[in-house]
Amino acid sequence: MARAQSKIAGSGRQGSPTERVGRSPRKSPDRASDIDLFNSVPALMRQVHRGLSRGMEQRAAKYGISIGTWYFLRVLWEEDGLTQSELSERIGIVGPTTVMAINRMVRDGLAVRLTDPDDRRKGRIYLTARARRLKTKMLVEAADFVEQALASIPDREIRQLRTTLRKIALNLKPHLPSAVFSRITAGLER
């Protein structure tokens, strides 16, 4: 172990996250449980995310909206007139996927592309009146769905879950878009 640590120190590598923050690594009697297909933290997070996505997709479908479009609407309801790259960064997806989503939104009458008056090379995406009218209905739908998903969980556990997920995000900084990272980790000690 000491040899491995001195090798890391000599190679210029920073070591594991626990070494960098001065903690000892978490001890697990069975490291295989950390990657268990159904009960590891990543597996549980993935399955819960899939359930939340499917449930929201069903609710959004009532309004003729796909789950992908839902993510774009959420961002544009908060800040209309973003560029394609700003949208990609805030949602955390790659450019070609953003182009397809924007094309679909324009086709469906939810958004328009306009040239930036200050920089004609940039196109900005603006919501249509139809998309703005969906905001209240869909946000209520989403709030109802989240309430249903969290119904049996005490408030203190929900607060602890949020804190824990934000701490996991801190550990995943290199893998998260900077716009997303800064929003979800704001106020946490680094």
Q: What is the pLDDT of residue 180?
A: 83
Biggest CA–CA distance in the chain, Å, is: 64
* Complete domains list, the chain, with CATH: 38-132 (1.10.10.10)
Q: What is the pLDDT of residue 3?
A: 40
Answer yes or no: are the C-beta atoms of 114 and 123 closer than 8 Å: yes
Q: Counting Cβ atoms within 10 Å, is residue 171 exposed (0-12), middle (13-18) or buried (19+)?
A: exposed
Q: What is the pLDDT of residue 112?
A: 97
Q: What is the pLDDT of residue 38?
A: 84
pLDDT tens, the chain, 190 aa long: 444 443 334 444 444 444 444 455 565 556 666 777 788 889 999 999 999 999 999 999 999 999 999 999 999 999 999 999 999 989 888 778 899 999 999 999 999 999 988 888 888 999 999 999 999 999 999 999 999 999 999 999 999 999 999 999 999 999 888 888 888 888 876 5
Instruction: Please choose, from the candidates 153, 151, 145, 138, the residue with its C-alpha nearest in 3D space to the C-alpha of residue 69.
Output: 138
Which residue blocks in the chain are alpha helix, DSSP H? 2-11, 17-20, 41-61, 67-78, 84-91, 95-107, 129-149, 155-171, 178-185
As a whole number of angstroms, the distance between CA 185 and CA 116 comes to 31
The model's pTM: 0.75
Structural tokens at position 109: 């009458």
